[in-house]
A = this chain, B = another copy of it.
Amino acid sequence: MSTVDKYFELVDQHQQKFIETLREVVAIPSVSSDASRRGEVVRMGEWLQARWEALGATCKRVDPGKQDLHGVELDLPPVILGQYGNDANKKTVLVYGHYDVQPALLEDGWDTDPFTLVEMADGRLVGRGSTDDKGPVLGWLLCAETHKQAGLDFPVNLKFCFEGMEESGSEGLDDIIVAEADKWFKGTDVVCISDNYWLGTSKPCLTHGLRGVSYFHLQIEGPGADLHSGVFGGTVHEPMIDLVHLLSTLVDPNGRIKVPGIYDQVMAETEEEQRSYEGLEFSHNALAGDLKRDIIIHSDERMTLKHRWRYPTLSIHGVEGAFYAPGDKTVIPARVRGKFSLRTVPNMEPARVAELVTQYLNAEFAKLGSKNVMKVIETHGGRWWYSSPNHPNFVAAARATERVYGVAPDLTREGGSIPVTLTFEENLGVNVLLLPMGAADDGAHSTNEKIDKRNYIQGIKLLGAYLHEIAVTDLTATTA
């Protein structure tokens, strides 16, 4: 029996024990956005460090400093850096995960206490953090422990980076990655992150792309103070009227961006990409069900995925400075800021996007003939990430997936951003793979967050199988 098969057998034998370990960490309410829970976040980080150290890993606790959380000064939770194994003949894999979780209250609509893991008859393991991201973070630990306890050779040198602030903007993390790139992270061959989800609920996937995001404030300044619409309505240029006119020029109701030049930068589709959409586990029926109303723009499922993954999109988020409360108020707001953002894709450059948006809005504003003052402010310009799914890191993960699930994984991209992906790639200069453990319906940030027992147990196998595949993969092979 091969080492991998032996490992799989042990994982099956230890299922209940692994669920108990998940129960133990779900019970630590490590909510990073809640000042009163900060001690629990730290406790969770210390739990991980202690457990890895007991296994023989070398750990370094990095404290990123102070945070101002709604006026309360708090210590940021530690980033736990680790090194497990240091054999010059083995490859080195860096894994990232986060041990903090989203807030959760029974009153929010949970069926059970969010910090008590409950195993449902249908196989769901329900609890806050079960899938995001405690399950995957445990996956790496349980894999290493299982190998050690059974005397199986661990196939790679493992480095890890576990943070406790992911759900609160990863404050402090980037600086640590930059500082440690040539130190703690030196020698890393590839990176693997398990912190996203399958496209559907039955078929595993590898994720090789993320969109960037450029966020804008469109500010219109009019009078020195808010005005009364009875006195001034119809006699002065109203900032809100200018604003709705400008916002309506950005995008049509079918999501088509009207800013000239935006689509010029979009990477053309290859035949290989075209083929990759075939057989993906994705249905409009399921999507419409999740949305509670069928408000899907496109009739073709592939078009929906393309607009999520490979085309830029523009969303309007809200207005600052106008009347927003329930009820009626007859104010003419003096200064308003429309908030909108573009999701960006290969090969758009954030600076060029900001330039096109600003030029266009200046031209559109000039057409209005308004005497108000308009300003476009780019508040954030984060780049997209795209990796070839033919890179040996992905090929190894695909082989591991086939071995565990008996099926070739879907190749997916995501519409959102996981900024740490790009930070690792840019600072370490190595390939990064996103290898999800959970399914699309896990409800990561919702009530009744769960991971299916199948995904958890097979996921622990998958992470191990991936490390074994990396061990025998030529990472220098040219990508197709």
Contacts and interface: CB of A to CB of B under 8 A. Distances in A.
16 contacts: A215-B328, A229-B317, A229-B341, A230-B414, A230-B416, A231-B415, A233-B314, A234-B314, A235-B296, A235-B298, A235-B304, A236-B291, A245-B248, A295-B372, A316-B322, A317-B323
A176 interface: no
A339 B255 CA distance: 24
Contact of A234 (B313, B318, B330, B372): B313
A27 interface: no
A292 interface: yes
Q: How large is the interface on A (under 10, 10 to 19, 20 to 34, 35 or more residues)?
A: 35 or more
Contacts of A151: none
B233 A343 contact: yes
Interface stretch (A67-75, A136-144, A219-227, A351-359): A219-227
A368 B252 CA distance: 8
Contact of A318 (B221, B230, B240): B240
Interface string A289-305: 00111111110000010
B291 A224 contact: yes
A369 interface: yes
A237 to B, nearest CB: 5
A247 to B, nearest CB: 4
Q: Give the interface centre of A223, A294, A316, A331 by most chain B CB atoms within 10 Å.
A: A316
A311 interface: yes
A159 B292 CA distance: 61
B324 A318 contact: yes
A251 B255 contact: no
B244 A316 contact: yes
A242 interface: yes
Given A230-B211, A230-B415, A291 B223 contact: yes
B241 A253 contact: yes
A247 B238 CA distance: 13
Contact of A343 (B229, B236, B311): B229
Given A294-B371, A319-B322, A322-B319, A230 B417 contact: yes
Contact of A233 (B227, B228, B315, B372): B315
A113 interface: no
Contact of A293 (B222, B251, B297): B222
A304 B296 CA distance: 46
A315 B332 contact: yes
A370 interface: yes
Contacts of A312: 234
A319 B320 contact: no
A232 interface: yes
Contacts of A223: 291-293, 295
A316 B241 contact: yes
A319 B308 contact: no
Nearest to A226: B317
A173 interface: no
A406 interface: no
Contacts of A213: 230, 330
A331 B316 contact: no
Contacts of A339: 323, 328-329
A343 B234 contact: yes
B240 A245 contact: no
A325 interface: yes
A333 interface: yes
B319 A325 contact: no
A307 interface: yes
Nearest to A256: B234
Contacts of A307: 234-235
B251 A241 contact: yes
Contacts of A241: 251, 253, 255, 315-316
A390 interface: no
